Structure 1
Amino acid sequence: MPPDAAVHEPHVSDPMPSWLPVLLIGMVVALVVGLGGYLFLQAGLHRSAPTLEQATRTGAAAVGQAVAGQFAHALALGIPLAELPGVEPYLRRIAENSPQVEGMALLDADGRTISSTMQGTEGTRFPISAGGTRATLVVAPETPLIDRAMRRVWIALAATALLAGAVAGGLVAFVTRLHQEPAQRRFLADMRGIADGIFAVQPSGVYRGPLADAARALAQCVEGVRAARRNLVEAAATIRAIDFDGSLGRRVDVILQPIDRRYAFPETDDDASARTQGSSVAWRLALLFGLYAAAFPYVANFAIDREPEGIAAAWAPVLPLLAELAAACLGALAGATRAGRNGGALLAFALLFGVCVGATYWCRDYGVFIALRCGAGLSAGFVAAALLCRYRLDIRPRELATLLIFAALFAAPLLAGLYGEAIGRRSGFLLLGIVTVVAAPFIAVGMGASENGATARAASRFGRGDVLLGMAVLPAAAMILVELPIGVGFDDYLSGGGAIALLAAAALAAPALSPLACAAAMLAAAAVLHLPVPYPGVSVFAACALLGLAAGGMFKQIVDAANRPWIAIAVGVAGGLALIGALRHAELPFAYLAAAAALVVIAVNLAGRHRPATAGAA
């Protein structure tokens, strides 16, 4: 390389941090969606509030007249109101069972309170007169009924705005990381190669914008140089053809040899082209994982409602998930073979995935539900493994894991919670199945055949890092798949999906943590769930954040040192499902599972300090 080669070193300035446009676009989209929804809701409330208020007052008046008539009947029978038994429980029961009524009070003729369901009851007065005795029933009408429902609507609107902003920001971030930054790295590598005398240009992978224009201009310049070299080689061949004594050939060699030593003209890099094509597979994987995980808030609570015969209630929500996990692993093994390279098989399994999910709408039997979930797991595992093993992705493993976690555990559960609240659980399965069938061609079709698949890692035993990673995933998986769907998310799908999204957000934001720090986070989650707190719902969300912090921190710390990280994650999920089933059977709280996993992490970490480090140890 010449001494002045550094002069040709390209310099690319970065005028703003890479996270700034992501943050700005996410905030703008969230504000636009939130503001638009707020204005629509306010307009609807403005038009409907008078009618609703009138309906509430009419309903409260009807209740008041009926109750006043009952007291008048008692007075007509000669029973003094002060001696009438059970007046306050009667009024309280009426108020609780009448959504139009907030409170009720019974007053004597002098205005003194005989009985009341709340302090300072004010509202419509209904006179009671019979048997020469007078009294008054006061009915406080409830605020318009829509106020109660609107609380959930406002929460749903906030979740929608958050989801829209997060998805928009995530798309910008991942487009930048998956397309712009790799294309920029390839362009800079080409520039450095040309400065070193290597005239080869890799496919940029982008088709618009300044970077694409610069890459095309560079390719045209390189093609001009390559054409000049071809002309020179052809001219030299012509000279050698008419050179009978070799003198001209020696003179030509004097000209060509310095050029050949200084400059290189490699052939087209087909492998780089395959990697560029394979980059789009990351988006297909994200869509596949998102569609698959969108059913997480529904599966366990749907299984409970099937009322299986001969199976303990504690295991009812767990068995379909265990069977589905086993089927997904079998599908992944099949997809990693030569069968996964068949485009027709890939499309067939993608369609089967959608059919199995959508058919749950008509499912009434527990056994059929398990069969449908096994079909969904088998087909999704086949498609995912086929895509991963068919192409060499031009994306770092951690970036791919971040994309899949964002799609599967943040965006999908929030979206599932929103449409679950809107159309219900069974219709949610049907909608999810229809979307999957429509998306199947995009997932499975349009990819050229490629033998540049990811190669398997060298076979090695399960190491300490694998055990630690599996233990960190174990309580998080049990929380996502079982505890939330049959707990806070059983009737409130939005809360269940929001809790899963919170766990995923904590995992994505978590820094790399030591095993002891992750164990401390899991113990804190167990304490939050086990100790009495004023607001139990808050403790569940706090525990989700702590478990996400532990799982994400352990993954970022251990994944590079683990021998078989994906197998460790699968084993952790299976262990979490089995243990939560056993805990439910023994009627023990979920906190015990998180505490047990934390203790195993501490024990494995301490044991690893007393033995020599081995390959694959963290």
Structure 2
Amino acid sequence: MRRLEARSLRDRLAAMVIAIAVAMAIAAGGWRVLDAAWAESAPGLDGATRLGAEAVGRALSGQIEHALALGIPLDKLVRVEDYLKSVVASAPQVDAVALLDEAGRPIFTTREGVAGLTFPVNGGGQRATLVLSTESPFLNAATVRLEILLGATALLGGMIAFLIASLFLEMHLAPARARLALALARAARGDFAVAIPTTGRGRTTAAFRALARRIEPVHVAARHIADGIATVRAIDFDGSLSKRLDPLLATVAATRGLADIDPGETPRSTVPSPAAIATRVLLLVSLYAGAWPLLANFAIDRGTDMIPAPWRPVTPLFAEAVAVVLGMLICRSIAPSASRVAAALGTALTALAFTAVFWCRSYDLFVALRAAAGLGLGVALTPLLRDPRLTAHPRGLVALIGLTGLVIGPLFGGLVAEAIGRRGTFALLGIALLAIAPRAAAMPAAAAGDTALRLNFPAQAGRLLQLLSLMTLAALVLVIVPSGPGFDNYAVGAGLIVAAGLGLVVAPATLPPVFAGLLVGVAGALWLSAAGAVLPEAWRWPVSSMLIGIGVGSLLKWQAAGLFRHGRSAIAGLALGAVVAPVATIPGFAAMSIMLPLGVLLAGVSMLARGRRNP
């Protein structure tokens, strides 16, 4: 057991090393490109900034000269400092302004130590100097933003690399090593009847081939034995030879079937591995979630006058959730032999619905397209999630879906939207979904329907706890963040969703459920008016998002075993979350303050559900 744990730890460390290397490579390459762009564009932009600042300085010095020409003493000018501050605020090329007397002493200044362009001021026999400190409105702000986006891109690349490496090492390489160890152990006991796969590449496959070559002489000997046995039995008319032969054959009875085995020609299995199933699920979820930072923004812009702006995202999200449930019901009634085709068609329908948003101009059409996307997702995802090997480790699956659906997908969508806009992002995600449609096809698998509803009260409380947890997560990710700080800044919205996703991934399942619910309540309490002095708004968003992610993640992992058995209840929770998200805005509170009553409900229900903890 210790050897297996050490090997798993080595695999994870190897995945981390690969992820860090990929992230550093992306960061280094992007930094070199950014540095080269800075060096090439800085002279021209600095020249444009200087010309703009000179125009502001000449206009400002002319106004001061006019005032001095009227006979007003320099130190008696009224409200000059306030006027200079308004100039700095309105002119992006100007960082600070100072007015100096003839001796160089500051009379009026917007900050200490102003240096830069100087403009002489002469009027009414008085002399002064106007000093402007310049600031490039293009380079400084844009460069900081590009650096943040570059860091987010490096983080995204590293997480994708970690996910791919982990899936390969833990779900492909580790089972291959286990098969090789089993074959060697059986061979050591004299049992060579194990069919060893020799297709593929790499060190493991090479070891399989080497083992097959060593077993080949045993197969040849087995064929000779089989031929000899057939000859003896053909001439054994009275059975006397068989009586002598059977005791001799008893020692090699376990390898008697070797004559029918042809090493090196073992056909590749047609059953997909857990790694293949998990890859299809996570790829589909991540691409679908790439649109989450954009949905509320797009719905509000396309909105109708019949629906208030805070509630406009609700209708397409609710229609989408209902369509997902309908897709799950349709998939449940499909024969297992047709589930592969249904999954491919569902993925294609989702892809076409995403791509069609590029030409969408009306709110009604957007609602219809989101419903079509949800229907396709329900049909495509249900057969995959019902694979018993995939749901054998529900807590790990919750973390993986959280990583792809709340971190990788939204971060990718937000970065792409910053580069090519909302419509282009929907089209790109649709094309990517269409490209994976053949790979997203589910293999036929026997899977039972949803578990029957239990009648004991703790079981009902557990279902309610899952519902409330997903409501909280959906309200934050689908409505509050995209229609709030992420409305005009897709990267910021994606970053806040990522904060919640990382909180969900790292949340421990051992966290007391009552405390996890209170974390959500604390995130809502941060948005009450009295909390404004404790934590600035710029920090409240990431802190509250992280708290919600940790609290909801711990609760979902605590109830993970039942989460995938009640798919329709999970989708209902997401739909209700979108509905309740704008409720706090009706009495005038901040939208995030809805988390306070939700957190109290989560804490109360978790106390009722603690008697039924899923393993």
Same fold (TM > 0.5): yes
> Deviations for 1:86-114, whole angstroms, at most 9, x for unmatched residues?
64444333322211112334556776766
Q: Does 1:490 find its partner at 2:483? A: no
Structure 1 distance, partners of 2:68, 2:189, is 107
Q: Does 1:317 find its partner at 2:317? A: no
Q: Does 1:142 find its partner at 2:129? A: no
Give the superposition deviation at 1:386. Answer: 3.8
Equivalent position to 1:57, from 50, 62, 84: 50
Q: Give the counterpart letter for 1:373 in structure 2.
A: R
Equivalent residue, structure 1, for 2:452:
459
Specify the SS of the correspondent of 1:443: coil
**Kept after mapping to 2: 8 A contact 1:392/1:452:** no
Q: Give the counterpart letter for 2:36 in structure 1.
A: A
Distance change >3 Å, CA 357–CA 464, structure 1 → 2: same
Equivalent position to 2:428, from 422, 431, 440: 431
Aligned sequence identity (%):
35
Q: Which stretch has the larger CA shift, 156-165 or 13-22? A: 13-22
Structure 1 distance, partners of 2:499, 2:28, is 23
How do 1:439-518 residues align onto structure 2 when only pairs under 5 Å count? 439-444=436-441, 450-456=443-449, 458-461=451-454, 463-513=460-510, 514-518=512-516
Equivalent residue, structure 1, for 2:359:
362
How do 1:570-589 residues align onto structure 2 when only pairs under 5 Å count? 570-589=571-590
How do 1:203-242 residues align onto structure 2 when only pairs under 5 Å count? 207-219=200-212, 232=225, 236=229, 239-240=232-233, 242=235
Q: Give the counterpart letter for 1:143 in structure 2.
A: E
Distance change >3 Å, CA 543–CA 60, structure 1 → 2: same
**Kept after mapping to 2: 8 A contact 1:332/1:381:** yes
How do 1:11-50 residues align onto structure 2 when only pairs under 5 Å count? 14=7, 17-50=10-43
Q: Does 1:103 find its partner at 2:104? A: no
Equivalent residue, structure 1, for 2:405:
408
**Kept after mapping to 1: 8 A contact 2:584/2:591:** yes
Distance change >3 Å, CA 563–CA 167, structure 1 → 2: closer
> Deviations for 1:227-246, whole angstroms, at most 9, x for unmatched residues?
76576566556655554444
Q: Which stretch has the larger CA shift, 477-486 or 271-280? A: 271-280
> Deviations for 1:168-221, whole angstroms, at most 9, x for unmatched residues?
222211211121112223333444455667655367698222222233444566
Structure 1 distance, partners of 2:85, 2:260, is 87
Distance change >3 Å, CA 587–CA 251, structure 1 → 2: farther
Distance change >3 Å, CA 188–CA 568, structure 1 → 2: farther
**Kept after mapping to 2: 8 A contact 1:522/1:546:** yes
Distance change >3 Å, CA 283–CA 323, structure 1 → 2: same
Q: Give the counterpart letter for 2:62 in structure 1.
A: G
Give the superposition deviation at 1:509. Answer: 1.9
The TM-score with structure 2 as length reference comes to 0.85
CA RMSD of aligned residues (A): 3.8
Equivalent residue, structure 2, for 1:6:
none
Structure 2 distance, partners of 1:183, 1:394, is 21
**Kept after mapping to 2: 8 A contact 1:107/1:135:** no
Q: Which runs of 5+ in 1 are unaligned?
A: 1-9
Equivalent position to 1:351, from 344, 348, 352: 348
Equivalent residue, structure 2, for 1:597:
598
**Kept after mapping to 1: 8 A contact 2:504/2:549:** yes
Structure 2 distance, partners of 1:129, 1:359, is 65
Q: Which runs of 5+ in 2 are unaligned?
A: none
How do 1:167-316 residues align onto structure 2 when only pairs under 5 Å count? 167-194=160-187, 199-201=192-194, 207-219=200-212, 232=225, 236=229, 239-240=232-233, 242-256=235-249, 260=253, 273-277=269-273, 279-316=275-312
**Kept after mapping to 1: 8 A contact 2:222/2:259:** no
Structure 2 distance, partners of 1:355, 1:457, is 29
**Kept after mapping to 1: 8 A contact 2:116/2:134:** no
Structure 2 distance, partners of 1:264, 1:517, is 61
Equivalent residue, structure 1, for 2:536:
535
> Deviations for 1:541-575, whole angstroms, at most 9, x for unmatched residues?
11222222222222332223668354443233223
Distance change >3 Å, CA 225–CA 568, structure 1 → 2: farther
Specify the SS of the correspondent of 1:547: helix
Q: Give the counterpart letter for 1:144 in structure 2.
A: S
Distance change >3 Å, CA 501–CA 557, structure 1 → 2: same
Structure 2 distance, partners of 1:457, 1:265, is 45
Specify the SS of the correspondent of 2:313: coil
Q: Give the counterpart letter for 1:519 in structure 2.
A: G
Distance change >3 Å, CA 400–CA 207, structure 1 → 2: farther
Specify the SS of the correspondent of 1:103: strand
Structure 1 distance, partners of 2:187, 2:305, is 72
Structure 1 distance, partners of 2:503, 2:93, is 42
Give the superposition deviation at 1:294. Answer: 0.4
> Deviations for 1:22-46, whole angstroms, at most 9, x for unmatched residues?
2222222222222222233223323
Q: Give the counterpart letter for 1:319 in structure 2.
A: T
Structure 2 distance, partners of 1:342, 1:591, is 41
Structure 2 distance, partners of 1:46, 1:182, is 51
